[in-house]
A and B are shown apart, each in its own frame.
Chain A
Amino acid sequence: MSEYAIEMKNITKTFPGVVANDKVTLQVRKQEIHALLGENGAGKSTLMSILFGSYIADSGEILLDGEPVEIKNPNVATSLGIGMVHQHFKLVQNFTVTENIVLGMEPVKGRVLDLKSASKRVAELSKQYGLQVDPDALIEDISVGQQQRVEILKTLYRNANIIIFDEPTAVLTPQEIDELMEILKALRAEGKTIVLITHKLREIKEVSDRCTVLRRGTYIGTVNVSDVSEQELAEMMVGRAVKFEIEKPEKLPGEVMLSLQHLEVKDENGAVKIKDLNLDIHDGEIVGVAGVDGNGQSELLGAITGLLPLSGGSIILDGEHIEQLSIRERIEKGLGYIPEDRRKYGVVGEFSIAENSAIKSYYKSPFRKKFGILDFEAMKKEAEHLIDQFDIRSAEGPVTKAGSLSGGNQQKVIVAREISLSPKVLVVAQPTRGLDVGAIEYIRKRIIDERMKGRAILLVSLELDEIMNLCDRIATISKGSIVAVNKQHEVTEREIGMMMAGSHKEAQA
């Protein structure tokens, strides 16, 4: 009998252009909650996908309970008692809870599907582990928290002894997170071994026994969680002393530059996503919108930028109503936007840096000449300027395709473009998601520079740290409404967390 439930030794895995894991080692004891910590792109998910058989390592070995195993595909992993709760749920939307849970291991009567007994089995399991779900509901009709339970039940149905959780709290409300933490502890008590992939230090401190840290695909170390502070964990993760605070000079806010009044947004099915939302942003201040994912943030961004139709209310930019205007007209009125998903909304990958820099202004002088002819040389010149000014690293200068740039440099192209258009209001969504620490600091500094220039900035982020660090005022959004607006120094993270969960009354008092 080995001391370890899982041992992964010297695992290396490459993808085209990236070494995701470089001789990584992981040892997980039986019946512990073992955290796997690292920044975005550190190789955590890859390592776990190898353990689960979704990927095959280029080299290295895996031992379960001291025995060497070869995990060629998820089937093998399942038969070895390994289950995985994926970050992006692997659930078929128009199948029922039961169908999803038994998929691939369906009970049959003769050769025909026996969904009735499957549903019974699911009900039993959910009772045994206290994971309440309706076995006959369709996935598309249940909440995200319930969908996660379905994922957990999927592993339990397959008799998993080792359960991997990939960033399980990213999509949950604070209450759901609390419940999940209890579920994790309960599973450990039932004898399960748990690997928790995360980059959230607080969760590690709360439930984990030990923690392994990865950085840029390499193994940094394993520690007993009770022996280290959050600060120490953060330094292991990032590789140097981390400044949690950023320098932010005082600045007095000026006039109201963007005013959102009684906004209402409905989705295509008519469900209200934003309800009576009010918020003012002054020039020279950064207002953060804090909230749990799915509480109306993307609808708010869509409504302001014009990407989504507004069903009620007004948006006033520098004294002018813009809610009826097209996206382009809003841009011309001085609305800048740094989108959340930069590859999807921010840049056109097949366009050059020059074309991407001009994509919001190509139809105007100096780029557009007579008869609608474009001056591509002028675009290149302008792009050269921005490349210099914003330190954009590219292989071929202005003609480099944006798609070939690193995430950080793509983000710089977007930031450069938006800032060069001198917007009155800059709407910024998740500006540092998926970037390395250097790029994160650079982007944050640029945002603060814009504030010093007197721009009004609206920052929407799921990272509470980011909001606490950057913003002058913090608006907490819950269920599509702003539940409170607080000055940054007058509120704690804990209070905001409470308000995000919807219990704002106590916190406001």
Chain B
Amino acid sequence: MKLSRERLIQSDGAVSVLVVFLGFLVGTILIALVGKNPLNMYKAILQALSGYNIDNGKMNIRYIAETINYSVPFILCGLSMGFANRVGLFNIGGEGQYIMGMTIAQMVALLGPQVQGLHWVLAILCAIIIGSLWGGLVGVLKAKYEVSEVVSTIMLNYIALYLSRIITLQMPGATTYKTANFPETALITNDFFTKITNYSLLNNGIFMMIIAVIVFWFIMEKTSLGFGMRATGFNKEAARASGIPVVKSIALSMAIAGAFAGLAGGIVALGSFKYGRVLSGMDNYGFDGIAVALVGNSTALGTALAGLLFGMLKNAQALMQSKQIPKEITFIIQGMIVIFIALRSALILYQQYLDKKKLQKEVGVK
């Protein structure tokens, strides 16, 4: 019994399940407190998850597809935060990297060569590259000038936002909120998906996301590059003394992290909107990606699962609203999850307290 409690406290997976549970618990209580029926929230979630509408017994696979589609940017931005986190950095800059990826993808979609099979590839590649440059810049500032990545990424998020507006407002057909539509060749829609999922927005981005998850896992867990990065993340000084090029590790890890977020921006632009958006505020995928990575303990699989959870919540928002549940409850749940993750350090203190008590018993303190 005692052993199993220790095991649970030390298991990252179990703690993640616990914090998610606590987040939902707070959400449920809050809904009940304001006099709504929490059951409606769970009905919406069930529908987002399975496509099954419990009230009228109808099944619509589109909901599942939308959940997956929403989860794509969450997962990719989660990978962005997670990758940097494994190297000991806190990447709040996923949002900026995402915005830059989106902006460039929009630009290439509108101005690039309209060649079937090349156009969208080019747009996606450019999104990945600009994302990695935007992230890599943070890495260089951190590694060379010891500028805190927390501060620099926050700054770069807003720089990206306004830069995106400046650029996008120059695009063909730009009004104050959108540009002209993208040509067909720039889109990443998948006709097969569209057909079988009742016209959901699910697109080829899902394949890119899956590849990204595998790339994350492979680099981090299997390769010599990942070994050096993990060592840097755990103990930078020891890694450096052991000959691991930590400056390179840090800069490169931020560049890879940025690539994931940039890709997310490209996919959202070409897959979900099909026209360029003049942003008036943040999309928040980058910020939510922080929560996704934290819930997923910055592992590839964990982040993918946590991203699905967040995608499901986002998809459930409209359904909740139609059931008179304010959709913002999902943001509250997400926020509470992150706060509970911060509080998990309390578990360590609790474990230390237990160890101490045990020892005191052994040496016979009254």
> Residues of A at under 8 Å CB distance from B?
12, 14-19, 22, 58-59, 305, 307, 326-328, 330-332, 337, 339, 344-351, 355, 359-360, 362-363, 367-368, 371-374
Contact = CB atoms under 8 A, between A and B. Distances in A.
B227 A374 contact: yes
Given A15-B356, A326-B245, A351-B231, A344 B363 contact: no
B360 interface: yes
B222 A328 contact: no
B223 to A, nearest CB: 4
Contacts of A327: 240-243
Given A305-B241, A327-B243, A328-B244, A362 B224 contact: yes
A433 B295 CA distance: 40
A344 B245 contact: no
A399 to B, nearest CB: 15
The interface residues of chain B, by DSSP majority, are classed as helix
The interface residues of chain A, by DSSP majority, are classed as mixed
Contacts of A330: 243
A508 B107 CA distance: 76
A14 B245 contact: no
A348 B227 contact: no
Residue among B240, B243, B366 with most chain A CB within 10 A: B243
B293 to A, nearest CB: 18
Nearest to A331: B243
A362 B243 CA distance: 11
Contacts of B363: 12, 14, 19, 22
Contacts of B227: 355, 362-363, 374
Nearest to B246: A327
Contact of B225 (A332, A348, A372): A372
Contacts of A332: 243
B356 A345 contact: no
B241 A345 contact: yes
A130 B237 CA distance: 42
9 contacts: A12-B365, A16-B352, A16-B355, A16-B356, A328-B244, A360-B242, A372-B223, A374-B222, A374-B223
B239 interface: yes
A348 B222 contact: no
A305 B237 CA distance: 13
B231 A359 contact: yes
B228 interface: yes
A348 B234 contact: yes
Interface in B310-366: 352-353, 355-356, 359-360, 363, 365-366
A368 B241 contact: no
Contacts of A359: 231, 238-239, 242, 244
B184 to A, nearest CB: 37
Nearest to B363: A19
B235 interface: yes
Contacts of B245: 326, 328
B224 A347 contact: no
A15 B355 CA distance: 8
A339 B365 CA distance: 39
B224 A307 contact: no
A378 to B, nearest CB: 13
B122 to A, nearest CB: 27
B359 A17 contact: yes
Contact of A16 (B234, B238, B359, B366): B359
A367 B238 CA distance: 20
* Minimum-distance CB pairs A-B, first 3: A328-B243, A16-B352, A58-B365
Contacts of A362: 224, 227-228
A59 B365 contact: yes
Contacts of A347: 235, 238
B231 A14 contact: no
Contacts of A349: 234-235
B238 A346 contact: yes
Contacts of B240: 307, 327
Contact of B360 (A14, A328, A360, A368): A14
Residue among A307, A327, A349, A355 with most chain B CB within 10 A: A327
B222 to A, nearest CB: 5
Contact of A351 (B222, B225, B234): B234
Contact of B356 (A14, A305, A346): A14
Contacts of B356: 14-16
A223 to B, nearest CB: 26
Interface string B235-267: 101111111110000000000000000000000
A329 to B, nearest CB: 8
A114 B219 CA distance: 60
Contacts of B359: 14, 16-19
B166 to A, nearest CB: 39
A18 B222 CA distance: 37
A17 B355 contact: yes
A362 B234 CA distance: 16
Contacts of B237: 344-345
